[in-house]
Amino acid sequence: MNPDQRYDTLNHMQKPTNPNASWEIGLSRGVYRLHTVVGDPANFDGKFILNVEAQLAVAGVPATNTRFFENTIDVPVLDGRLTISNGPGAVNNKINFVDIERLPIIPGTAISDVIYIRLNAAGNTVQVFDNAAASGTPFFAALLSSLGTLTVNGEGGNDTIIVDMTNGNPIPSSGLIVNGQGDNDTFTVLGEAALTPNRVITFNGGAGNNLVQLQSGHGRIEANEAGGTVDTTVDFDAHLTTASLKQRALTIASDNILGGGLVTILPNGGAEGLVKLQALSIGTDAILDVSDNDLLLTYPAPGPNAALAGTIQQWIDNWYFQAEFTPKIASSQVTATGGETVIVAIDNAVTGFGDAQGSPHLGEILGDSANAANPGFNQVLLRYTYGGDFDLNGEVDALDYAIVDTNLGSTVSGGGGAGWQRGDGDFDGTVTPLDYSAIDANLGKGEGNPLGTEIQPLNGESAAQAIGSVATIGADDKFDSLFTFNARDADRSSVAKSTRAAIFAEARKEWRELAQDSEDSDLILNARERLRKLAQSRVNALADFWDGADD
């Protein structure tokens, strides 16, 4: 006698009078977890093999000391009934019992489905319908408080998934996961309720062209292309928050009277927060807040596309100067740092970063290649960095002084970030002594921990280019400077360390002798010029040595 009476009862599945019996129960469309037990407390003369919805559920050959077999599987039910049947090779098959638990998983079908999710009128029960009108009886219903994560599996076809927040937020405490898995899927959020920040919607698109629409309210949505493409549209009265935006297109719409939508990228500052798009449209008074993240906009090759980079920079300027009735790209982190940081747009195909400063093209920027033949040259980069970081390496150092020194007094033009590249930090079209101020204010910041995602140079560049940041300055005060040399090549790090004192000892002496206890701008500029020339000559000599060693 078994303590659990269910093990002492059984149904025959292969009696001579019914050699291929089956067992069924009516269930609404959904995914169910089944714990199935087979066996016979008195006999072990069979071979147990049971299928559930044509999937193997449990199998085993009984023996004297092994009378029962059990297993748990999850199965979708799409036809309104769950079927348990004999598996191939079963002999004298039997079933003791089965436990059935409905899971918070909504299964799609092989055709195009409509899945509509909302709360009931009382606002306490999540309802799921199979039609766009949310009419009839929901095929899934559960108390919102009882759910952790709700999952929708679209399967085949062009599926439409709708989340309606008219009666409140139906997203469970641990979020909603939508797996497109089909062709061209559309995911829409409508209604005025705000999505609770920790109730995240994750949309994994299908293999085709997918559309995400936030029509109103405030929602946290993480959209992943998952083999296809994703275009996201945020309407004029909607606010989208996301930690990662890597997709084909983003449109932030506007209304001429009511204003524009808002998209906020959560602070990250690394590869996860990098925004990657092929198309960006921002309506009047609509805002894209990049926070402390970079944005990489790839346009159709070949470049340059100075007009696009100019447009991106204009959208940034619209925010800086709070121009009314204009599209804006903002950075809440720039505001939080009190202007210590900036966002700036650069067209890689225009600037090239290959002028007298010795910096390479951005090239395989941030690990991304637009195409094999011309990697990275048809990209606009919006970079979050420190004010005065004119070479965009995330640090404010001696090379940034050298950029202003080289171009001092020159008029810069050409768009696409050409002015920033040449040291025009205030975007007035001319490189003046005023452009030193941002470097002075931020000198040494980012040293050893640069802002933003690392910029990868092109292969085949010279040793001088590969060195990258020639020197960084961390100042205890205005005239007490400590110079450290940084080499990108780890194999040469010992050489860099051994030459550190030799390269900058004289520069330190020059700086202190010429600038100590003086506010004379000519003397300070003279010291900077001597420092730049000395450092550059030392680096060139070291680069020649390394190039010779490579040969």
Q: What's the pLDDT tens digit per position in 10-62?
A: 999 999 999 999 999 999 999 999 999 999 998 888 999 999 999 999 999 99
pLDDT at 415: 56
pLDDT (average), residues 72-80? 94
pLDDT at 383: 87
pLDDT at 137: 92
**91 and 61 fall within a common domain:** yes
Whether residue 474 has pLDDT greater than 90: no
**149 and 250 fall within a common domain:** yes
405 domain residue, yes or no: no
Higher pLDDT, 242 or 469: 242
Higher pLDDT, 486 or 25: 25
**Least confidently predicted of 112-116, 146-150, 206-210:** 206-210
pLDDT at 170: 94
| Phi and psi at residue 146, to the nearest 5° | -90, -10
342 domain residue, yes or no: no
Residue 108: C-alpha distances to residues 27, 102, 203 (Å): 16, 16, 15
**54 and 145 fall within a common domain:** no
pLDDT (average), residues 339-367? 57
pLDDT at 345: 87
Of the residues 77, 103, 129, the one at which a domain ends: 103
**145 and 29 fall within a common domain:** no
Considering only CA atoms, give the Rg of the chain: 32
Give me the residue label for tokens 């049971």: 50
Would residue 446 be called left, alpha or beta, if left means φ above 0 and alpha means ψ between -120 and 50 degrees?
left
| Phi and psi at residue 115, to the nearest 5° | -125, 120
Distance CA 101, CA 123 (A): 24
387 domain residue, yes or no: no
Q: What is the identity of the amino acid at 546? A: W
**82 and 147 fall within a common domain:** no
383 domain residue, yes or no: no
Q: Is the pTM of this model over 0.85?
A: no
| CB half-sphere exposure, 182, CA atoms < 13 A | 27
Which one, of 243, 261, 244, lies nearest residue 252 by Cα?
261
350 domain residue, yes or no: no
Quote the mean pLDDT of the chain. 78
**98 and 150 fall within a common domain:** no
Query: Where is mean pLDDT largest: 198-202, 262-266, 410-414?
Result: 262-266
156 domain residue, yes or no: yes
Distance CA 234, CA 288 (A): 11
300 domain residue, yes or no: yes
pLDDT at 469: 27
pLDDT at 282: 97
**92 and 126 fall within a common domain:** no
Higher pLDDT, 195 or 364: 195
Whether residue 265 has pLDDT greater than 70: yes
Whether residue 189 has pLDDT greater than 90: yes
In sequence order, the β-bridge partners of residue 67 are none
Cβ within 8 Å of residue 175, ≥6 positions away: 149, 150, 198, 199, 200, 201, 202
pLDDT (average), residues 110-132? 93
**Least confidently predicted of 73-77, 260-264, 304-308:** 304-308
Of the residues 336, 363, 387, the one at which a domain ends: 336
pLDDT (average), residues 204-230? 89
Show the domain range for 39: 5-103
Q: Please say whether the beta carbons of 199 and 148 come within 8 A.
A: no
Whether residue 156 has pLDDT greater than 60: yes
Q: How many other β-carbons are positioned within 10 Å of the β-carbon of residue 255? A: 15
Higher pLDDT, 223 or 349: 223
pLDDT at 373: 40
Higher pLDDT, 496 or 36: 36
Q: Please say whether the beta carbons of 233 and 211 come within 8 A.
A: yes
Tokens (6 digits) for 224:
């992943």
Whether residue 483 has pLDDT greater than 60: no
Which one, of 23, 171, 204, 31, lies nearest residue 109 by Cα?
31
Residue 383, SS3 per DSSP: strand
Confidence tier at 380 by pLDDT (50, 70, 90): confident
**93 and 143 fall within a common domain:** no
Whether residue 458 has pLDDT greater than 80: no
pLDDT at 183: 83
CATH code where residue 27 lies: 2.60.120.430
Cβ neighbourhood burial of 12 (10 Å; 0-12, 13-18, 19+): middle
**221 and 202 fall within a common domain:** yes
pLDDT (average), residues 335-364? 63
Of the residues 103, 126, 160, the one at which a domain ends: 103
**80 and 19 fall within a common domain:** yes
Which one, of 355, 375, 335, 525, lies nearest residue 455 by Cα?
375
Q: Considering its fold, how many domains does the chain have in total?
A: 3
380 domain residue, yes or no: no
Tens-digit pLDDT profile for residues 283-321? 999 999 999 998 888 888 666 777 888 899 899 989 988
Confidence tier at 522 by pLDDT (50, 70, 90): low
pLDDT at 242: 93
Which one, of 333, 330, 445, lies nearest residue 389 by Cα?
445
Tens-digit pLDDT profile for residues 387-413? 999 888 888 988 888 888 888 888 876
**88 and 119 fall within a common domain:** no
